[in-house]
Structure formats: C-alpha cells, structure tokens
C-alpha cells in the first residue's frame, strides 16, 4: 500500500531520503514523478500512474479537492471524496506515496493573497465560462511542484487547455520538470472517463457517448476535404445542432491548431494551411459538464 501523508513537512522529509547528496544523485539518480488529482479515481487516473511508473522510480499521487479552482455555484462541496477507495486503487498500480492534505494545510490563508495568473489563455474555451478557474489551477500546481519537486509530472490530455497552461507555467517559472500529457482513457462506448461522469443519470449515460461520436464524425469530415474557413464554420454549426438535439447544452465547440503552444501564444483558429488540428468541446448533460477533444491529421 502506498504511504499516506497529510502534512507538507512529512512528505518533504520522506522524499528527501531519495535525493541524498549531490554526489549520490550523480552516481545513482532517483527520479520522482508527480500525478496531481482531485481523487475519486478511475481507470484514467490509474493510467497516469502507470505512465509515471515508466518514467520514474518513485511516484507521488496528490489527492486534493482544490477550492481555488471552483467558482461560485460549482460543485466544490459535493465533489466526491473517496480517499480510502482511492488508496486501494493506487495500491494496484504500485504508487509509492499519496499526498492528501487538508485545505488548511495547503492554504493557511484562504483565499490566498498570492496569485499565479495564467494570462491570455484563460480568455478562451473553459476560461470564458469558468473565470478564475485556471488561476486556481496555477497556484495549486505551483504549490505541488514546490512541495514534491518532481522530475516529471503526468497530466491527462482530456483537460487539453489545462495541460497547455501547465506547460506554460513550467516554461515561464523555469521549473526543471518534464511535463507529460497522457492520452484520453475512454469507456467501451467512447465516453471519456471523468470523475464527474457519476453525475449522469442512467438515461444520460446512454446519451453521453454521442459527444465523442460527433467529434469523430467532424474529424472525418475535416480529413476528407480541404475546407475553407466558411466551410469549417458550417460544419461546426451542423455539429453543434446535432449535439444540442441529442440533449446537451454546449459550452463551446471549437477547432484549434494541434499544438499546445498555439493555445498559449495565439489560440489560433483553423486555416487552410494547418495540417494538424484539434477539436475541443465542453457540454453539459444534466449536472455533468463533459470535456472531450479529438485530434485531426
């Protein structure tokens, strides 16, 4: 079973034993990986841990429902907290440490007077409907990086914009951390795994795979033809209409160049010369806000 720590000082002390002296590190470096989560783990999270185990000797999984990334009226209070079950699942993939701090441990003052602002990238996609969300992500990830001091950190590509922001954070704050984006893990019917999927009713769960099916259909249309901007907008409108008709309320459906840096630098939309694209969507189905994306070559 992984060791569980709730206090920053205790986790730091445990990890320090692997770092040793500078000569020790040069002779036999021990790589430490971090997998940040909010708990209520599913198979997608466990895949992140498996990837981390391939990249490092020691894997730390953080489990912390971070209040600074929840807005007014969002599901912070009701977000599922299942620490015992999570630790049991992590034991099956050989995670070494679980860091499960309290809110008071992470934020002696809440809201924290110090900010880590994500900048212009938050003016698009999820940032438009969740103002302040990514700034909350920025401060908690910065704190986790400082606490664990990992050599590598693994995040899921389902949260594509978040991954872009974290890569920006690593670049701009000069963290010596390799950031890995892990492929989306899906259920057999194509629905991207998410802790919030449990908010779906039985009837909604039957409808939910339509979101991925529509992304695949749109991707195939883009692959088959070289489209003008006007044609792409028409395809997007048709896809939005079908998703809405299926019962979803769309937050956004957009196409960007398939480069995390493009979100950071420009948020570039499709143009005829782009060969690699990504379709991004967020949509509500009942209480569940579902995210997904699809690469297009």
129 is in an annotated binding site: no
* Of 7, 45, 212, 227, catalytic: 45
* Nearest-angstrom CA–CA distance, 127 and 282: 11
- For 142, counting Cβ atoms within 10 Å of its Cβ (0-12 exposed, 13-18 middle, 19+ buried), the class is middle
CB-side neighbour CA atoms (13 Å) of 118: 29
The verdict on whether residue 185 carries a ligand-binding annotation is: yes
> Any known ligand binding at 86?
no
**Residue 217 bears catalytic tag:** no
- Apex 60 CA angle, 54 and 65, nearest 5: 125
271 labelled binding-site residue: no
Is residue 206 part of an annotated ligand binding site?
A: no
Strands 277-285 and 288-296: antiparallel
Asked if residue 42 belongs to a known ligand binding site, the reply is yes
In the sheet that holds 152-156, the strands lie side by side as 3-5, 97-99, 58-63, 32-37, 152-156, 178-182
> Residue 257 pairs with which residues in a beta bridge?
277
193 is in an annotated binding site: yes
297 is in an annotated binding site: no
The distance of Cα 49 from the centroid of its chain, to the nearest Å, equals 14
190 in a labelled binding site: no
**127 labeled part of a ligand binding site:** no
Is the alpha carbon torsion for 138, 154, 52, 40 positive or negative?
positive
Task: Check whether 229 is labelled as a binding-site residue.
Answer: no
- Residue set of the binding site: 38-45, 69, 156-159, 162, 185, 193-196
Q: Which residues are annotated as a binding site for ATP?
A: 38-45, 156-159, 185, 193-196
Q: So which residues are the catalytic ones? A: 45
């Amino acid at each position: 079973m992984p060791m569980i720590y709730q206090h920053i000082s205790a986790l730091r002390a445990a990890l320090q034993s692997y770092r040793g002296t500078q000569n020790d590190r040069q002779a036999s470096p021990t790589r430490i990986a971090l997998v940040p989560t909010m708990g209520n783990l599913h198979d997608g999270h466990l895949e992140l841990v498996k990837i981390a185990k391939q990249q490092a000797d020691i894997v730390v999984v953080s489990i912390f429902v971070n209040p600074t990334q929840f807005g007014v009226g969002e599901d912070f209070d009701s977000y599922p907290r299942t620490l015992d079950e999570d630790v049991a699942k992590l034991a099956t993939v050989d995670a070494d440490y679980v860091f499960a701090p309290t809110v008071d441990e992470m934020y002696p003052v809440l809201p924290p007077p110090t900010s880590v602002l994500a900048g212009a990238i938050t003016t698009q996609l999820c940032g438009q409907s969740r103002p302040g969300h990514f700034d909350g992500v920025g401060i908690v990830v910065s704190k986790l990086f400082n606490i664990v001091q990992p050599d590598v950190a693994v995040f899921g590509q389902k949260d594509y914009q978040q991954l872009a922001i974290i890569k920006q954070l690593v670049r701009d704050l000069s963290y010596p951390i390799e950031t890995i984006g892990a492929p989306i893990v899906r259920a057999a019917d194509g629905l991207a795994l998410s802790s919030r999927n449990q908010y779906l009713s039985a009837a909604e769960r039957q409808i939910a795979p339509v979101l991925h099916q529509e992304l695949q259909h749109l991707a195939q249309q883009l692959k088959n033809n070289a489209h003008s901007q006007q044609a792409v907008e028409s395809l997007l409108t048709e896809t939005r209409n079908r998703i809405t008709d299926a019962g979803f309320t769309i937050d956004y459906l957009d196409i960007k160049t398939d480069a995390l840096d493009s979100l950071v630098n420009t948020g570039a939309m499709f143009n005829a010369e782009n060969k690699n694209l990504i379709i991004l969507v967020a949509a509500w189905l009942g209480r569940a806000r579902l995210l997904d994306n699809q690469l297009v070559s």
